[in-house]
Amino acid sequence: MTDPRDWRTLPLVGDGRTLVEASAGTGKTWTIGALYLRLLLEDRTGQGPLSPRQIVVATYTNAAADELRRRLRGRLLETLDLAANGFHLAAPPASEHTDRAWLHARWQRTDTLAADRERLGLALAELDLAPVSTLHRLCARILADHPFAAGAAFRTPEMVDSQQRVHELADDLWRLLQSDDAADLAAHAVLQARNGLHHVPTRETVRHDLEGLMQPLVVVEADEVPVAWLAQVQATLAAVVERPQIFARSTSVLLKQWKALAEFLASCPSGAPAWDLLPKAKEVRAALGNLQHNQVKPEFHQDPGVLAAAATTEPVLDAISRMQALPRARFLAAVQAWARAELDRRLGAARQLGFDDLLTTVHDALRPTIDGARPLADALRQAWPVALIDEFQDTDPVQFGILDAIYRDADGAPRGRLVLIGDPKQAIYRFRGGDIHTYERAKADVPEADRLTLDINRRSSDDFVEAVNQFYDVAGAKLGAPGSGTPITYTRARPSGRRAAHRYAGPDGAGSRCLVLHSAADGEADESSALRSCANRITRLLDARGGHTIGDRTLQASDLCVLVPNNGQAIAMLTLLRERGVPCVLRGRQSVFTDNALARDLLVVLHAVVHCHDPAVLRAALGTGLWGLGYQRLRALRDDPAAWQEEAARFHRWQRLWRERGVLSVVTSLIDEVARAHLDTREGHRVLTDLRHLGELLQACEDQADGMASVLKWLQQRIEGSREDSEDAADANALRIESDAHCVQVMTLHGSKGLEFNVVLLPLMWKHEGRARQHAKGLRKLSGVDGLRRVALDEASVRLDDREQQDERFRVLYVALTRAVHACHAWIAPHAKQGADDALAAPLALATPRLDAEALAAHGADRIAVVAGWWTSPVLRPPQPIRVRTGDEARALPAVPERILPSRHSFTTLVARRRRFEADPWAAAGDERDAAVLNEPLDASAMDDATAPVTATATATPHPELDSLLGVAGADFGNAIHRILELRAPDEPLAAQHALVRESLTHYDVSHRELTTEALAERLILRLQAVLDADLARAGVRLADLPATALRAEMEFNYALDGASLGRLRDICAQHGWPQLIPARAQQLAGLMNGKIDLVFEHAGRFHILDWKGNDLGDGASACLEDYAPAALERKMDSTHYRFQALLYTVAIDRYLRDRLGDAYDRARHLGDCWYLFVRATGLQLPDGTPCGVWRHRFNDALIDAVQAELSRVEVGVEEAA
């Protein structure tokens, strides 16, 4: 039989399922590496070992997947090094080093050693191609690698976080509920269901409900409740209440409740229940619970009528609860149907796919076809014979459904080897869709012989491992309340001895009692008292005279971590620690915007920079905590004109600096002004780090914004939290950590999973309660055996959900305790009232009655100490200052590099008014905003003249199609046009793609002051279709006639730059007759040239370059054809340097064709022309027949060759030259 603790004998060969259960700190990641090594080296019954490309390794987050890949690479490198350096010739390693012992025994055969060295080398070479990722990334790979079998489009949709779309739907739903205007049948069904509600839900409720309804596999059951059987129940109850002699008293509560219930049931068959007669279910159940005590006379306890009435009461209450919930269930079902259809339509029009839709798309594609075939599942099983699934306890039914379909044949038998790795005790992400029932069902399919249990705790000290064992010996091993049906229990861990050389010790030199329970006195237990007591305890732990040590060093702030249930409590904890002078940091996804008052101060200061002529605004900026003048100094400025003028002049200088160099330069100057004052404070480093971070984010915003006001608006929106950020944006906005490695960490319980800390403090686990139903947000959902998650609306379902949430809180307690390496302090409240059957109770509160000193002594729990009283006052400061770092003086700037630093360049960065050092490849119409202001005067009038006319025309020929788009302009409108023309279906007219046009306008928030979005979309469709139908420059080229195979939209290019110069490029162009083609700047170029060509199309064997321009070349109030005539376009191309852009695109396509065609490439035969279509006028013509809106050009070969040579220049370094 397989040893349940030995990874070396775990079955990995043949078809089946394998389970690895790894308790906290037991080396799960190490074991994954060991199993991976076995798969790469061991022969699979004559089929040979596997390669990395054949082994799926999936985990929960991108960061975890990257870390797993890094660990696997390290394991392979280490093993290869052992194989190459005679490890097999040395003495056998100690028995505890099982991986090395396994290798040593294996390599005693010379042929095996040689084969393994070769396999390890090959495995390292292809590890980057291995499917080591999250399940989401794995599904994206499936759609990309198996489009035929998955029924996916060859062009992969854009992956997006659909949460923002859901929020848009919530706003649309709210507006729909306030009106009676239904656009389709689904919306009409929503309004009908709304009419059945007692009240229309609030806007916040609508949003929370919709977020829950749009999750995968969520269903709303709105079936009618059968009422025929209620008549029999009514008769049973009526018969009992007509016998008053049964009851102990005439005033019996049970008699009153049964009588009211019978009267209510009598009204049900009519279809209009008399809800005002319905007694409260809670009171009925309370009376029923006292049935045999004081409600019914003893001689009637076994009366058939009484027993029948008691047996039917609970079921009938549940049925009534379902009846009460039915109108809301119907409403939610209608909302879900409408929202899912609408989301699919919007994503489809935009050719996008949400991350959840990615999973469901693959899940659906794995289903058998009508004839029972399973092409995708078969292909994936063939490609990936083995899969290792980490953190399996957090898997949801959709994810497991994908895995189960791949690794199960058409008859339902396992195939391949699916290895499930996790710890059910750490399943704490139910709110994200994690489903412990999925884990338990999968576990049931794994034979005992195919299971591995990891129970040696290699994280914690031996003393603390035993302390946790003793805690669960006393509190109970079941991770659930007494009434819970959970099968998950605590398993005693074995110590590893790993921390023996660095033991934790307290003031008396002993640290064996390392789980400390701080017990509140009567009337002392409240949240603020617990947090104050915790803060005071930390000051004592960090007192250098207190004698708290780890090994031979004193306890440091960085050894400690405080875990609390939510962010609000974490911030309160930070405040208390800072009052006591303790360095601390909130670890997690705290936003630099919404969780930080500094951002508000910066907004006030920047507002003053923009409005520097307003004295009141300047005083507000000077009075912020960031600037910190204070009331007295502000009053003094009022009486000192010279000093006031000096302050005002600074803001005027900053306004000029902003216009010339950008907002980051202003923030940098601000940091120089306030740095000295803030470095003298405890939070000085935090302030300066956050200021720099905010400045960088504002600069990134400004590169896409239209002026200073837009930047300020963006900052205000982020502070108010009015826009939801994607995960990537949340990472970008998260507070940065610099000196925080020397601080006490404060974080939420859920955020601590997977981490470890020397000492953990849990001040609020005694209060980790469930939310009362009236305060709960969002929908409750229960998982069924079929994998569906049903919305819980009736009383019985809600009670079950309360219990499952409580079970998860028991698991959270386990996670919190096992974060500690050496010691843990937990606060308990023995005198707080908690019922053992209260599903909202905190798990630690339920366990507290069994954790008194007598119970601990009876169990021999000598590693647990109980400290009486919460030490809450006075505010304690460390007896000695806690210094976390030295050398706060400003550092010298690094030496200027001899060569320019490499960066990413594009047309936009090369011609922008201010130098940009990073290109944004996604801003398709960014050049329509920036290029127009090149070399203009740096004043306010130059900020927004991208749409100014190039020059006045002698005649003005109006045209209604030009007037149709007056009132819309700017980069957002240009981006919307680019999006439409990129995503359009070439074989359909734009009139049939109305949703795409509307979605694109909405996506970029394009609006018209007089037209609705629908009306604007209609006009834009007519104009763009005319562009596609136009005979371009009478050359016989019509874009609408070209097949999809001849079109490549948004073709991206990249090529290296190393030593090119804008100055030399300008000289080259001047030699070929174009002296103004390149901006007058002597910039050196190093790094990467990047760009996206709007369209490359093939016509008559030649490949042409096309760029769409949405610029309004008129004055904004009127337009004439002469503004788009050939002469005007020539001037526009030169004034905006668009001709330079065309040259860069030509160079890119010339390189591409030469690389693809090789010696067959003939520039004259293969390279087409450059076409710039100003879409407002393309297809129109002057009265004399001259085409408008089309610029066409072909650069001569000599110029192209010279420019290619310059852009290919390689700068010779000093060492190379020598």
Residues serving a catalytic function are 1107
DSSP assigned state of 644: H
Q: Count CA atoms within 13 Å of residue 824 on its CB side.
A: 30
The answer to whether 1023 and 1110 are in contact (CB under 8 A) is no
Burial class (CB in 10 A: 0-12, 13-18, 19+), 1131: middle
> Hunting for tokens 């104050």 — which residue is that?
532
Tokens of 406: 């791949």
Cα 1022 to Cα 728: distance, rounded to the nearest angstrom? 37
Q: In terms of DSSP H, where are the helices of 758-894?
A: 795-817, 843-847, 853-858
- Do the annotations mark residue 489 as ligand-binding? no
The response to whether 26 counts as a known ligand-binding position is yes
Distance CA 52, CA 528 (A): 53
Length of the chain: 1218
1115 is in an annotated binding site: no
Q: Are 823 and 541 in contact (CB under 8 A)?
A: no
Show the CA angle centred on residue 82, arms to residues 76 and 85, nearest 5°: 135
- Nearest-angstrom CA–CA distance, 650 and 241: 87
Q: Report the C-alpha gap between 68 and 60 in whole angstroms.
A: 11
**Is 59 within any annotated ligand binding site?**
no
CB atoms within 10 A of CB 842: 25
Q: Is the separation of the CB atoms in 805 and 430 below 8 Å?
A: yes
- SS3 at position 951: coil
Give the neighbor-by-neighbor strand order of the sheet with 864-868.
584-586, 744-748, 560-564, 757-762, 820-828, 515-519, 864-868
Strand pairing class (1047-1061; 386-389): unpaired
Q: How far apart are CA 40 and CA 55, in angstroms?
A: 9
Chain mean position to CA 103 = 41
| Strands 560-564 and 757-762, sheet pairing | parallel
Q: Does residue 28 have a known ligand-binding role?
A: yes
Task: Report the distance separating Cα 961 and Cα 1026, nearest Å.
Answer: 10
List of residues 6+ apart from 633 with CB closer than 8 A? none
1094 is in an annotated binding site: yes
Among all chains, which residue has been given the structure tokens 């790894």?
22
Q: Starting from the edge strand earliest in sequence, which strands make up the sheet with 549-550, in order?
A: 504-505, 549-550, 553-554
Q: Judge whether 22 is annotated as a binding position.
A: yes
- Distance, in Å, from the CA atom of 592 to the CA atom of 598, rounded to the nearest integer, reads 8
- The token pair that represents 685 in the structure block: 């480093």
Other Cβ atoms closer than 10 A to 790: 17
Which burial class, exposed, middle or buried, applies to 425 when counting CB atoms under 10 A from its CB (0-12, 13-18, 19+)? buried
User: Phi then psi for 1049, rounded to 5 degrees?
Assistant: -85, 150
Burial status of residue 635 (CB atoms within 10 A of its CB: 0-12, 13-18, 19 or more) = exposed
Asked if residue 25 belongs to a known ligand binding site, the reply is yes
User: For residue 949, which of 1122, 705, 691, 772 has the smallest C-alpha distance?
Assistant: 1122
CB 58 within 8 A of CB 388: yes
Residue 629 and residue 644: Cα distance in Å, rounded? Answer: 12
Secondary structure class of 428 (helix, strand, coil): coil
The reply to whether 24 sits in an annotated binding site is yes
Q: Are 1105 and 1145 in contact (CB under 8 A)?
A: yes
99 with 8: CB under 8 angstroms?
Answer: no
DSSP assignment, residue 247?
Answer: B
CB-CB contact of 316 with 260 (8 Å): no
- CA gap 528, 873 in Å, rounded: 12
Helices 641-661 and 663-679: crossing angle in degrees, nearest 10, is: 130
Annotated binding residues for ATP, as ranges?
22-29
Residues contributing to the annotated binding site:
22-29, 978, 1094, 1107
